[in-house]
Structure 1
């Protein structure tokens, strides 16, 4: 047997809102650092004999930011002192995140660790995460750009799994920009507790051994000394078994890391007696196994000094835990809008001369707190009626709401600086349209006329024809009006150069110079359903423009979409589901236990018992038509959904269509999923790209070996490339996407060669309540999801994805 060294990292796992109120946990984590300072003070003053060697690792920079926001000058001075002595470790990871957050916001937070380290003279070279099952491929670039060289991943493989088919191993992870960090894929963050390295803080969660059975009823002794002896015996047994198994598996190193918490809970306090347990075990092991409490930097110094060859990989570390966002779709929508506005603020006001830096800072912080991995209180599914469950859900929502409010206020300041004015009783219908994007944008800008407004002395009359003019040139612009709840929306076609501004004047035309036409095309009932070959049809059977021919059928709804520029269909017409059709899945609860049925799914998000239904078309109505677009409303029936309709808007001046999926969801406690079919294709040369935080990638291909390919959390949408044309599909407020079959089956991990998956049918995964602990159980309510499809050949997949992002952000139009 080798002489082993265990590097023990003592930390508190940050899980904001899982075990307590969010603001309460902020107090806890501030106090945990104060407790660490007191432990170290007591240790050095001789008040804690036997606890020599105690060290503490801050899990993330947020803990430190939170501490400084509430600490005295003397307390921060003490903290910095122990950081410099190496008894408290810093971390370059800001929080344990989902991939919901975008690169700009994540970079702004991650950079705080670097700035802090520079301020106190201690470089932050290492980071760690716990619990979460992955990160977007752009993360190593972000960490490297912020000075972080090392990342310890202590993931939790519940409904997930570690990459590279094994844990307790290092690898270099290279980002798309070729920045490289050293990653250690470690054990569950409580594995030190499984080894009983924390007195009165042992557990049997990951280890299925005889000791687990023995401890099923807890430890029962007559004296505290007996409990100590029992725990020491368990610790020796489990550590020896674990070490022997590593050696039997051919493990290359003579050391390994373990994480330990001061109590067997998330958001756990520090425990000085972890050090005493370590010292007691070191005496019992007599040099065969040596346990050392260390910081991240110390551990990675050991890894880097090893002579073992460390492999390097590129690709996405796809997160198995991304699906929580599907349980809170409406709040995710608010967060996504906040991120888009944050990006627009950066584009319009890069030097922050017009906006308020504090508002932007607050928005970024709240976006991070919402996108942090905790998706509810621990009993959200087992006790969805509980007051604390409801309270913590709304407090989580508040992060997204507050982010949206602050960034909206900042954008208002910027637009005001660019000429926007408030409405007034005698306002003129003058507007400014701005292309904020760094490339030419061809599309529409939406301008609004309040219903009470007068235009050139006349009340707004929605029966009149709206007209739009370029104020500078006098050019008449193509536009179309549309009634909304509080205003008349005029959608104006524009073609704007990068950063170009255009002043637009709106008028209304009361003249109706039309007359009846002599050729057979429409009857007195007003329905144009004759095929004449002279005019495009706009019927419940077929809608045609210069760019698309969309056909409908009773069986599928949208049966096919033909790209007239290439003569090829952009939909896979062999599938049972039409474009934007809903697919609903429900897995019945067994034995009145809502948690067990979810646990048994493992890494599947459904089971053999899952009942699957596809939406059935009930009606199609053409509700609007003009110079800019034609809109059809498709109505469907779908179990679990009281109302499901698709408002399909087909533009006439450029190759773009928009689908708004509107639905009223029933409240169901059973695990359920709702998908929207996106059966868009190009040709045999097709490749699919998605954008994630700081990267674009090909699902099934550009991933670390052994990672999840069941679903992905994306930023803006996907691109299906082709020889003659690309198809861009923006998913805007629906960030989860899956590909191919969704039936329960043995899980195939990614090998980087799955071109079949990459070319398979995408499905927008708009809702789920899968997890058995802290997802929102109730998906009931009203929702709207918007998808935009654009065809045309782009210079590169990256350019196509940037255009997809621009479509989601849009052209800005406002009163002046």
Structure 2
């Protein structure tokens, strides 16, 4: 606890895409801020060195837009002051939530390709402000890209910070790479809490912070480092000349400590040089407490999760086409599509008036724009998938007859003639052989939409006039890894194992019984294990709808309230008067067996909805339970939440979840201070007791509580009540930027499977991948060549995942390989034909060392929990 000698100030604008202004306006503002910063840098060039203005570009998204639009002189001006150390560039794309999947996290760093390679900029540091955390994988990705310093300026409202605070530590990523991390004050600390830039405030506000650090025995530094934004436009605010003049005057006066401007990278260098040798190591996910906000927009959050999968499938097929010299990858379009998905997953969400004035133009315009990112991402993804799938199919067979737009003057069978083709073409975009049961798409004869495949389009809907709509047929078969197969329509699912009766369904693996009181499961019998997994929590059963409100006139203030006198800016209450209810009326419909599936639908009346229904379904021979809710949600602006309960009949629980792509155990694989009251699930979450367990895949709703309902515990350590997973499907608890209410039809879909022993992360991940990305099915193609084929496959015994995309460099294909085990592994990739060359790569596709190719196979050593990018080409260089 040495005496403070210097206050270091990092000037920047906090990047909110929205909140203070309409999103497109914010992008233009940030371009103007850079120009104003350059003006101010030049205007203070004759100031003493410590007072010469400097600026840090917090995020690459707005910066890259500015650089792309800058003229030659403006660009040279930026580069000059950047290389002079006066305008810094941080590496993060935006301030991000944990909603991003592994590929999105990689793509969020692709702007570094342009910033470094095209514009000649140096990027060594990263920063995230406002949000309460950052996905663990970023520690690996940043380190591998030479971004060695990470700075966090957390806004702890409704959240928490790790320790030390303020302070530094080595943050180790899943695979063992590490970055230097600074856990610092709120980004508005400098202007709002310490009064910097204002001589009327600083002498009253600053001393208590300095004396607090000097009295703190755990604080070993002789400086106070803080960020400074605009004094009133604290978010999306411009540079401020008053700061430069303030620092100049401060240092001219008789003061107990100096002030100096530092960019984030300059501060990182100082920290490393003076204290790097003494810093401790921390390992784990920096789980973001603000992840609860997306529950305010359940439908759009769900469709953006679909966009993640659809974009991945489209790019996998595009990569296959490139390997066959039929390239259709458009790098500019791909970057746009991923940025749309990332912008939805970016943290800002909506207007600061979202709760106070939900019906205002300002609020509604921003939500419309925010939602558009998800809709654009998913529909552009569908268009790319449709184009790629049809291109892959083109040489494989002859298409059936095209329809004729029917104005009613033709019989349906005349306008849309049957093809007579008794096969469907099924494409598996996952790199392992896959047993599938697929539905034959409706015959549409080439009618619109062209940008969405028939297998994804809603049935009995279309533009083209009257057409025949045949009964549904389902097909069972096996499709090769990252491959295709023509499956005969005659190979229907066996169905002999299916049974159904009053209140129950069963197949070869499970018997499911419905609880008439709440509509959940009173029986979830695994026949193979001889164990009934149906448990209870607070009287609720697996799959049951639970509605929650706050019984207080204080509303959201009964959960947590703004309190700027509190160091954490809020008070979180542990005595919130929650009222939770189950269905008031339950109607169990007749169970049915048809098309190789047994299903039973339960309709309920309950709080928060006009109506709701859940369908439980079992496919013939498949060890998977589908739980598909459809809510007809009523708008409710007072605080509320919807849970889908999954309590299981197990012993002392052990949880594991796919947290931002990394198989993680709560507490163990998290930093102290990371979120424990709720968790973000990328694809799967598992609970077991060592003898057996259940894997749950939430397709639409990424938030879960583990062990029971944990809202309001504000816990630094998860202490689960029992073996329960509560899907926190909807909530509107936030008091500013997230939606005040949501209504309409909202799907909530889950896929469950059970297992013996502890969960195997690779098995869970592959089950979840199959549940999340259905096969692509095309009809009316008569095969004229091979009936099956494959692009590549991974070793089914290895604990790895793999995805493919067309490389950014012509002719190359980029593979992402991920080791899901906490031990080294050898990842073997088998291609359909021999690659001409393979290389290791960094995460943004800069080629590295050559890799040995053995015939059609490639083997790569992967460190524990490592993610690697491999570049492969098949044609001539």
- 2:22 equivalent to 1:54: no
- State the match for 1:278 in structure 2: 247
- State the match for 2:504 in structure 1: 542
Deviates more, 1:154-163 or 1:348-357: 348-357
Out of 757, 764, 767, the residue aligned to residue 803 of structure 1 is 767
- State the match for 1:178 in structure 2: 176
- State the match for 1:446 in structure 2: 439
Q: 1:36 to 1:600 in 2, by over 3 A?
A: closer
TM-score (norm 1): 0.83
- Distance in 2 between residues matched to 1:88 and 1:416, nearest whole Å: 48
- State the match for 1:140 in structure 2: 139
1:381-780 matches, cutoff 5 A: 381-419=355-393, 424=403, 425-426=416-417, 427-429=419-421, 430-450=423-443, 488-506=471-489, 537-557=499-519, 558-573=521-536, 576-588=539-551, 590=553, 599=561, 608-616=576-584, 618-626=586-594, 628-680=596-648, 687-721=654-688, 726-742=693-709, 746-750=713-717, 754=718, 756-757=719-720, 760-780=723-743
- CA offsets, 1:522-550, max 9 Å, x none? xxxxxxxxxxxx99751233323221111
- 2:330 equivalent to 1:329: no
- Distance in 2 between residues matched to 1:495 and 1:114, nearest whole Å: 40
- Distance in 2 between residues matched to 1:771 and 1:574, nearest whole Å: 26
- Distance in 2 between residues matched to 1:322 and 1:744, nearest whole Å: 13
Q: Check whether the contact 1:4–1:254 (CA below 8 A) recurs between aligned residues.
A: yes
- State the match for 2:347 in structure 1: 373
**Structure 1 residue 112 displacement after superposition:** 1.7
Q: 1:491 to 1:143 in 2, by over 3 A?
A: farther
Q: Check whether the contact 1:605–1:770 (CA below 8 A) recurs between aligned residues.
A: no
- State the match for 1:71 in structure 2: 70
- State the match for 2:223 in structure 1: 255
- State the match for 2:336 in structure 1: 362
1:69-218 matches, cutoff 5 A: 69-113=68-112, 115-164=114-163, 166-195=164-193, 198-199=196-197
Q: Check whether the contact 1:324–1:775 (CA below 8 A) recurs between aligned residues.
A: yes
- CA offsets, 1:404-430, max 9 Å, x none? 222222111210111166964333443
- State the match for 2:262 in structure 1: 294
Out of 311, 316, 336, the residue aligned to residue 285 of structure 2 is 316
**Structure 1 residue 485 displacement after superposition:** 6.0
- CA offsets, 1:178-219, max 9 Å, x none? 1111110000001000355554xxxxxxxxxxxxxxxxxxxx
SS at 1:364 equivalent = helix
**Structure 1 residue 129 displacement after superposition:** 1.1
Q: 1:484 to 1:179 in 2, by over 3 A?
A: farther
- Distance in 1 between residues matched to 2:573 and 2:681, nearest whole Å: 18
Q: 1:630 to 1:260 in 2, by over 3 A?
A: same
- Distance in 2 between residues matched to 1:674 and 1:638, nearest whole Å: 11
- Distance in 1 between residues matched to 2:571 and 2:100, nearest whole Å: 24
- State the match for 1:38 in structure 2: 39
- Distance in 1 between residues matched to 2:647 and 2:77, nearest whole Å: 60
SS at 1:69 equivalent = helix
TM-score (norm 2): 0.78
Q: Check whether the contact 2:501–2:591 (CA below 8 A) recurs between aligned residues.
A: no
- CA offsets, 1:448-506, max 9 Å, x none? 133899xxxxxxxxxxxxxxxxxxxxxxxxxxxx9866765433222333124211243
Deviates more, 1:600-609 or 1:63-72: 600-609
Deviates more, 1:295-304 or 1:427-436: 427-436
**Structure 1 residue 575 displacement after superposition:** 5.4
Q: Check whether the contact 1:547–1:655 (CA below 8 A) recurs between aligned residues.
A: yes
- CA offsets, 1:251-293, max 9 Å, x none? 111113100013322100001221111122223344x311110
- State the match for 2:810 in structure 1: none
- State the match for 1:529 in structure 2: none
- Distance in 2 between residues matched to 1:335 and 1:586, nearest whole Å: 27
- Distance in 1 between residues matched to 2:130 and 2:649, nearest whole Å: 37
What runs of 5+ residues in structure 2 fail to find an aligned partner?
A: 404-415, 447-457, 463-468, 564-569, 782-877
- CA offsets, 1:497-525, max 9 Å, x none? 3124211243699xxxxxxxxxxxxxxxx
SS at 2:352 equivalent = coil
- Distance in 2 between residues matched to 1:494 and 1:506, nearest whole Å: 10
**Structure 1 residue 615 displacement after superposition:** 2.4
- Distance in 2 between residues matched to 1:707 and 1:196, nearest whole Å: 26
- Distance in 2 between residues matched to 1:262 and 1:721, nearest whole Å: 50
Q: Check whether the contact 1:687–1:722 (CA below 8 A) recurs between aligned residues.
A: yes
Q: Check whether the contact 2:503–2:591 (CA below 8 A) recurs between aligned residues.
A: no
Q: 1:179 to 1:373 in 2, by over 3 A?
A: same
SS at 2:359 equivalent = coil
**Structure 1 residue 645 displacement after superposition:** 1.2
**Structure 1 residue 233 displacement after superposition:** 5.0
- Distance in 2 between residues matched to 1:62 and 1:446, nearest whole Å: 41
Q: 1:318 to 1:594 in 2, by over 3 A?
A: closer
- Distance in 2 between residues matched to 1:656 and 1:484, nearest whole Å: 28
SS at 2:319 equivalent = coil
Compare CA radii of gyration and give the structure with the larger one.
1
Q: Check whether the contact 1:598–1:671 (CA below 8 A) recurs between aligned residues.
A: no
Q: Check whether the contact 2:505–2:591 (CA below 8 A) recurs between aligned residues.
A: no
Q: Check whether the contact 1:198–1:262 (CA below 8 A) recurs between aligned residues.
A: no
Out of 273, 276, 292, the residue aligned to residue 305 of structure 1 is 273
SS at 1:369 equivalent = helix
* Number of matched pairs: 723
Q: Check whether the contact 2:642–2:730 (CA below 8 A) recurs between aligned residues.
A: yes
What runs of 5+ residues in structure 1 fail to find an aligned partner?
A: 200-230, 454-481, 510-533
